[in-house]
A and B are shown apart, each in its own frame.
Chain A
Amino acid sequence: MRLRREPEPTPETIRELEALDAALAGEPVDPEHAELGALAVALREEAPRPRPEFALALDLRARDGFPAPEPVASILPRKRMPRRRWGLALGAAASVFIALTAVLSSGVLDSQNDNGNRRSEPVDEPLVLKSAPATGDQAAPEQALSSPSAGAPAPRLQGRQVERSASLTLAAPRDEIEDTADRAIEVTDRYGGFVMNSSVSGGEGPDVGATLELRLPARRLQPALADLSKLAHVRTRTQGSRDITAAFRSPRRRLADALAERRGLLRRLERAVTPNETVAIRARLRAVNRRIDRAQAQLRALRNRVVYAPVQVRIEPGAASRAETGGWSLGDALDDALGVLRTLLGATLVALAVLIPAALLGGLGLLAYRGSLRRRRERALEM
């Protein structure tokens, strides 16, 4: 198509065009334009006419609603994918793209991995306590732990020994405090932790509430705290960490000294001649062994402080339960509706952030393709 602008037609041109139209319509033509009229009629008679057999075949196909042509004519263009299928394919591709983008950008995969670890690790890698003398309501390990995760270097920062701790205050409905405490213990078990102390007071009294002193594996502290936080409304949540590398030095030195002394005493014992000498060395050995035990116990306790983070969970009566408020209230419904709307709005924004540029690019591409196709078609007319 040439976008050349033609000059405005002159009155004579207009009259001649009208004469042509009149001649084609079989109407009388001004004698001045009789020749033009005759030419128009002669031209019309020159129109190519279809062969009767082709016209008949086409009539039959028209009657049948133009069924799909058989692949006989090489002249026909290659069968292309219908536009609807293209649309479906593009739509599906866009949906997959959006979903992937949303999933990847939301970090769901990461959190799912975390969740997977939370659930599987306690099962796959149970924390095995070598010995666990009771020091509270429940059994607690004071000895060294043999689990790979227990001795894991997670809390260490480049050789530093870091003790972590946390406290959490949850607000639960009065009638749900015991259940919440039970679920907190379940979370603790799931992460391979244990309960040092627990105190739960239910009922209607003023001191209703629960306090749990937990020990959670430091390397899984964050996901465990996240799960604990889901049990009820979180009022406060604090976390801390303390470098206790220096605290290890003294017991290690005492242990090394005691071990060296024991080795010396054992050598002297081998060489002892008199009974008195033997008795004296044995007495000193017993004393050294006690020092070794104490130093080792100190180290184990320190190591436990690094491996297991103390977490204090306080559950207070706070939020009214649905039973107390008479079930799902209008306010709850409004909150839920707002939450749903916020989520939808966020998802829509994410989708638009992908779709708008994609649609713009697609539109530009389509326009460019159509323009290019139109130009190529027009060029074909000039060949």
Chain B
Amino acid sequence: MDRLLARSTGVKEFEELYRASRDDVYAYVATLLRDRFAAEDVTALAFERAYRKRGSFRAARGTARAWLFGIARNAALDELRRRARSAELDADPADEASLPVEDEAEFGARRLAVRGALESLQPRERELVALKFFAGLSNAELAAVIGTSETNAGTRVHRAIHKLREACHETA
């Protein structure tokens, strides 16, 4: 798909990328913004930008998914900046609606602990978790998105997951 997208900049290849990434991009953006409706707007915006810029994708620089998530990241960070400028909110409350809606009865102790632990992470760590576990990016793709080396990305993911595990234990 990457090669096809790079070579043809075709609509068909982009559709394939869209289908494979729609929910992942949304999950990542929603984790960064913690606002369902803002996440929807930014997700749509990211795909529009990616669609317009599909000709600029270069396979040599990384995979199509890494390229797409880079665009989504920029759009989300721009939204965070815009919010910081206009609203000056001290802290955005987590939008509970952005989390999976399930029956209370289905909540196990572990899942509650995981959610609690996620909340305790720093935004950068939460971003890493979102890219790794929500979007399913490889360490190399993750590194390309956040602009670091693959080794650095792996180490940071490792540190975030350990922090998360400790937070889970504390919550439990």
Residues of A within 8 A of B (CB): 1, 3, 5-9, 13-14, 16-17, 20-21, 24, 35-36, 38-40, 42-51, 54-55, 58-59, 61-63, 65-66, 69, 73, 75-77, 374, 376-383
Bound state CA distance, A63 and B114, in angstroms?
Answer: 37
User: Known contacts A43-B129, A65-B11: does B27 contact A17 (CB below 8 Å)?
Assistant: no
Identify which of B30, B118, B133, B138 gathers the most chain A CB atoms within 10 Å of its CB: B133
**A380 and B114: CB pair below 8 A?**
no
What is the predominant secondary structure among interface residues of chain B facing chain A?
A: helix
A302 vs chain B, min Cβ distance (A): 80
What is the predominant secondary structure among interface residues of chain A facing chain B?
A: helix
From B1-9, B61-69, B80-88, give the one contacting chain A.
B80-88
**B134 and A6: CB pair below 8 A?**
no
**A76 and B99: CB pair below 8 A?**
no
User: 25 interchain pairs (CB within 8 A)?
Assistant: A1-B146, A3-B148, A6-B155, A6-B156, A8-B151, A9-B155, A14-B154, A24-B132, A45-B111, A46-B99, A46-B114, A46-B118, A47-B24, A49-B100, A50-B40, A58-B40, A63-B15, A66-B47, A66-B51, A69-B48, A76-B45, A77-B78, A380-B77, A380-B84, A381-B77
Q: Does B165 contact A (CB under 8 A)?
A: yes
**B151 and A9: CB pair below 8 A?**
yes
**A6 and B146: CB pair below 8 A?**
no
Option from B51, B100, B127, B165 in Cβ contact (under 8 Å) with A46: B100
Q: Does B79 contact A (CB under 8 A)?
A: yes
**B77 and A377: CB pair below 8 A?**
yes
Bound state CA distance, A36 and B23, in angstroms?
Answer: 24
User: Known contacts A7-B155, A36-B161, A48-B30: does B47 contact A1 (CB below 8 Å)?
Assistant: no
**A381 and B127: CB pair below 8 A?**
yes
User: Known contacts A13-B158, A49-B26, A66-B52: does B43 contact A58 (CB below 8 Å)?
Assistant: yes
Q: Does B59 contact A (CB under 8 A)?
A: no
**A383 and B84: CB pair below 8 A?**
yes
A85 vs chain B, min Cβ distance (A): 13
A376 vs chain B, min Cβ distance (A): 6
15 other A-B residue contacts (CB within 8 Å) besides A46-B99, A51-B36, A55-B22: A1-B148, A6-B152, A20-B132, A21-B138, A43-B164, A45-B100, A48-B36, A48-B99, A48-B134, A50-B43, A58-B43, A62-B15, A69-B48, A75-B38, A377-B81
User: Known contacts A1-B146, A40-B133, A62-B15: does B80 contact A381 (CB below 8 Å)?
Assistant: yes
A57 vs chain B, min Cβ distance (A): 8
Residues of B within 8 A of A (CB): 11, 15, 18, 22-24, 26-27, 30-32, 36-45, 47-48, 51-52, 74, 77-82, 84, 98-100, 110-111, 114-115, 118, 123-124, 127, 129-130, 132-136, 138-139, 146-148, 151-152, 154-158, 161, 164-165, 168
Residue of A nearest to B99 (CB): A48
**A48 and B123: CB pair below 8 A?**
no
User: Known contacts A46-B115, A58-B47: does B110 contact A17 (CB below 8 Å)?
Assistant: no
Residue of A nearest to B37 (CB): A75
User: Known contacts A6-B152, A36-B161, A76-B45: does B32 contact A381 (CB below 8 Å)?
Assistant: yes
B52 vs chain A, min Cβ distance (A): 7
CB-CB nearest 9 A-B residue pairs:
A47-B134, A377-B77, A380-B80, A43-B133, A48-B30, A47-B27, A6-B155, A380-B81, A50-B26
Bound state CA distance, A40 and B128, in angstroms?
Answer: 13
